[in-house]
Structure 1
Amino acid sequence: MDSSNYKLYHVHGCDSRQYLENYFSDKPDMVFRDDSLIFPIENLKKFFQLGHIRGDILLDLSMGSFIHHLYAACEFFKHIIVLKLNDRCILELKRWVDTRTGAFHWGHAAQIHAEMEGKSDELEDKEGKVRSALQHVVKCNLEKENITEPIDLPPADCIISAWLLDVTSKDRDDYIRNLRKFSKLLKPGGHLILIGCLEAIYYIVGKDKLHLFRYDEEFVRKVLVGEGFIIDRCEVKNRTNVSDLIDYKGVIFVAAHKEK
């Protein structure tokens, strides 16, 4: 099935709140909990706890306005800078950071983190640490060579990118081009963590069907090695849920570091 006629996230946008409700909420009919919440959280915690990554600056280059993947990171980085492509996601994220009325509820994600750590009584402290570390939300533009222009960010110790390459890359060349732009934001020896969907075609938000770039594990590995990265960890989880909201076969977590 050709997804070239579907809407593009970075061109047409989508309802940021509906996206969260569909794929990251704690509603009883939200069937993606294992893939979109638990799988990223487990792998991020395991990788960070190895002790190889820590530093001053973490950049988050992810789609939507979800924050559950940052709970593990806030323990290892002083500052988290979030880059977003559209204003709706920025407003949604800032609503949570500023604890405004109507902000999306992430208590279930904090609960998952706390239970994995055996500290279920520290939920508020966990959310407070993320808010404290998340000091800047910056709008970016993938069409520019320096995607944060006119702002020049300091080189990052680590970049996390969850699903953004999937939704913004129309083809393989696009994926590689976007990855190179991300890579330029890293320090020599810096780490890149990618989370995405394998063999994906589309996802639905509200009335909109949007494009997903279709790729497999071998493609990701080859691209990273070709761009000068050494892969430290690669985990794949096959899809088990049933839903017409999104077409994909599995979820991938890849952590790599940039050769100096």
Structure 2
Amino acid sequence: MDSTTHTFYPVHGLDSRNHLDTYFSNKEGMVFAYDILKFPMANLHYQFSRGRVVGTFAIDISLGSFIHHLYSASNSFKEIVILRLKEQCIMELRRWVHDRTGAYDWSHTSSAAAELAGTRDQLQEQEIRLRSSVKHVLKFDFEQGNITSPVLLPLADCIVSVWLLEMISKNEDEYTRNLEKILKLLKPGGHLLLIGVLDATYGVVGEERIHCLKCNEEFVKNAFGKVGLVIDYYAMQKRSNVSDLSDYKAMLFIVGRKGE
């Protein structure tokens, strides 16, 4: 692989199972386990468990095929629709949601979710609740007026987006436009909970070095303001380990409320 060549996720996609094995598994050597697994789960649990974000219908529009960030959402929302850009990721997620043979093993994260909820003896219930909450796993396309066409979704009370915008945007203007497209799915007064990376230019999956738009804290906050989101909460986790898998400096968690 030429270290100067970056693939672009919307065009080239990624190997979804390799992505999970590299960043999300329970094997030894997961150098970003705290940043990628614990930080999102803890912050989302904090928001949902305190009734800061409420409703009945939530949308998850994120990168890849991970599900660990949605346990706490399934405690608060009866219906969740997952949106993904690539068919391979959709197939991987449907395999888990329908508990099919060969589905990815997320038991290490269901145990973490149970611990956060104070129900360590109810590990299986975490996965059962999440599976029953996910009503659809659908493809989205930002080139369409209705990005979930031909399906027309109701507006969501809450949208969760994890590590997506920086991977599908080539520049800051495109990031802001893509953020606006996501907000078309959100009710006035609803909340966007976004997890992203700061100051990253790439992430490695297998032999591919995948483009990441370099964003800093000021830019993300300004982008929220430009699209009419009032920031209710912000947290940052500095990079906890050294690895050539990615050059990000920190993880961010930001909650924005859409104007009425």
TM interval, shorter chain, is over 0.9
Given that residues 202 and 211 in structure 1 are in contact (C-alpha distance below 8 angstroms), is that contact kept between their aligned partners in structure 2?
yes
State the partner residue of 2:40.
40
Cα distance in 2, alignment partners of residues 239 and 194 from structure 1:
17
Residue 256 (structure 1) aligned with residue 256 (structure 2): yes
Residue 229 (structure 1) aligned with residue 229 (structure 2): yes
State the partner residue of 1:177.
177
Residue 47 of structure 1 aligns to a residue whose secondary structure is helix
Residue 37 of structure 2 aligns to a residue whose secondary structure is helix
Q: Which range moves more in the overlay, 6-15 or 114-123?
A: 114-123
Post-superposition CA distance 1:221-256 (Å, at most 9, x none): 111011111101100000021111111000000011
Structure 1 alignment gaps of length 5 or more: none
State the partner residue of 1:241.
241
Given that residues 37 and 68 in structure 2 are in contact (C-alpha distance below 8 angstroms), is that contact kept between their aligned partners in structure 1?
yes
Residue 215 of structure 2 aligns to a residue whose secondary structure is coil
Within 5 Å, which residues of 2 pair with 1:73-222? 73-222=73-222
Given that residues 160 and 192 in structure 2 are in contact (C-alpha distance below 8 angstroms), is that contact kept between their aligned partners in structure 1?
yes
Given that residues 5 and 209 in structure 2 are in contact (C-alpha distance below 8 angstroms), is that contact kept between their aligned partners in structure 1?
no
Cα distance in 1, alignment partners of residues 77 and 119 from structure 2:
20
Q: Which amino acid aligns with 2:159?
A: I
Given that residues 32 and 240 in structure 2 are in contact (C-alpha distance below 8 angstroms), is that contact kept between their aligned partners in structure 1?
no
* Superposed displacement of residue 132, structure 1: 0.1
Q: Which amino acid aligns with 1:101?
A: T
Q: Which amino acid aligns with 1:30?
A: M
* Superposed displacement of residue 5, structure 1: 4.6
Given that residues 74 and 80 in structure 2 are in contact (C-alpha distance below 8 angstroms), is that contact kept between their aligned partners in structure 1?
yes
Given that residues 4 and 170 in structure 1 are in contact (C-alpha distance below 8 angstroms), is that contact kept between their aligned partners in structure 2?
no
Post-superposition CA distance 1:42-97 (Å, at most 9, x none): 10011112213221210000000100010000011110000111110011001111
How large is the RMSD of aligned CA atoms in angstroms? 1.2
Cα distance in 2, alignment partners of residues 70 and 79 from structure 1:
12
State the partner residue of 2:26.
26
Q: Which range moves more in the overlay, 229-238 or 117-126?
A: 117-126
